[in-house]
Chains A and B, each alone.
Chain A
């Protein structure tokens, strides 16, 4: 069992409240995933700048900042608990290779607008530590984890991001992830963990880089990914959900004129504005629901 949540804003009305809305959803999904939590939030992009979400683990921030300034020319580096967001105009491939070489840190995501924070611990503590309530943005995805198939670590936490501005959260388990991982490694997708969800994220990255859109990608995932899953996935401008054909893993969608909210259970969104007049429905098995592009 895990809890997955997401919000996609259809209007600007709630942009400032996005963090607060998502925070409540994650806290309410503690019962489905008490051991780790994480979230990805999409903010307005700045021209030519790429952002790198880094978990600095046990490093002292000031020392990390000093060391990294010798290697990367950055515009800003902002500390948020044990994570840091580094913004730079340098070539992303160069920055990525430098960051990936630093063994003490984990690069949890990068892109023009995405910021990712994830950590082990109770969802209530995790959202508080990263001050999620203060975040604004256009769409966001979150996860509360009850580990089943790999260890309780930061790298085992969701969301997973294997490409620029991409992220994925998962409730379920995949059974053919080892074969798929081997295949995707040959296609130059990098993996950081033994986790099945990271393979699904890699699968999506591979398809998106082959110029497929998010909806087409998830439609092909339905035949290529074997196992139980409800996925919520985000790109810079897109947001989607898909459930496998058997649909053991739950999901509820609430849609109003201002937002689309998705969660494993309705109780995660009971606090959202106007939710009682929202169109509330369950996504049907084997059908991709997407917003944006």
Chain B
């Protein structure tokens, strides 16, 4: 089924996708002329496949549950923000805060993601085939961030328990983020996620793992004079 944003209002398109009739069994949708509009495909709950033909604006696929969304273009700020489950595949570049606060699901970005990719992520798996900008995985709590290119300044600042895997160079690490040993279980997990992103050709040993030093978790009485 084709939904043309030049002919239909965004609210109508989102309402259609949010209230799929399971009896009709139409699982494939194409959105035409997105033209950088915001909030396309937010709040979806059904297991459906959607292809968006073009560039999208802010918060595409926000709060997604179960849906499989492909963006054939670039995505604006906050793609897949607060995603719960399902999959979002951006074939171009993503702007700031991709996958912000997302609890689950899978986000693949074929190009680069700019600053704050995976900010405060809470369980999502993110694979960026290109590079990520500054402050990526800031305050990230759980899930995995995999970057096949480079990472910008202050990677993983104030990090909790997200695992970060970077193949290229890291400009600098943020507070409390350190390089960690890659154990077998990490290699296996990375291999599985790379396979899921159809990146089997990449070697897991080329990646480095980063995580929390866990020194910001508790207040230290020795630092009391600094406050």
Contact = CB atoms under 8 A, between A and B. Distances in A.
Query: Secondary structure of the B side of the interface?
Result: loop
B35 A270 contact: yes
A247 B35 CA distance: 23
Nearest to B95: A282
A98 B35 CA distance: 48
A285 B57 contact: no
A266 B134 contact: no
Interface size class of B (residues with CB under 8 A): 20 to 34
Nearest to B135: A246
Residue among B36, B93, B115 having the largest count of chain A Cβ atoms under 10 Å: B36
A277 to B, nearest CB: 11
Interface in B83-98: 92-93, 95-96
Given A250-B95, A284-B114, 20 more contacts: A247-B96, A250-B76, A250-B77, A250-B96, A252-B95, A265-B57, A265-B76, A266-B55, A267-B36, A267-B38, A269-B36, A270-B35, A276-B73, A280-B55, A280-B93, A281-B93, A282-B93, A282-B95, A284-B133, A285-B133
The 9 closest A-B pairs by CB, nearest first: A267-B36, A270-B35, A266-B36, A270-B36, A282-B114, A266-B55, A267-B57, A280-B74, A247-B115
Contacts of A270: 35-36, 55
B37 interface: yes
9 contacts: A247-B115, A247-B134, A265-B57, A266-B76, A267-B36, A270-B55, A280-B74, A280-B92, A284-B133
Interface string A257-282: 00000000111111100001000111
B149 interface: no
Contacts of B96: 247, 250
B168 interface: no
Contacts of B54: 276
A280 B94 CA distance: 11
Contacts of A285: 115, 133-134
A247 B114 CA distance: 10
Interface size class of A (residues with CB under 8 A): 10 to 19
B42 to A, nearest CB: 16
Contacts of B38: 267
Contact of A266 (B57, B114, B133): B57
Nearest to B94: A282
Contacts of A250: 76-77, 95-96
Given A250-B96, A276-B54, A281-B93, A265 B74 contact: no
Contacts of A281: 93
B109 to A, nearest CB: 13
A276 B92 CA distance: 12
Interface string A75-109: 00000000000000000000000000000000000
A267 B35 contact: yes
A276 B37 CA distance: 15
Residue among A250, A267, A280 having the largest count of chain B Cβ atoms under 10 Å: A267
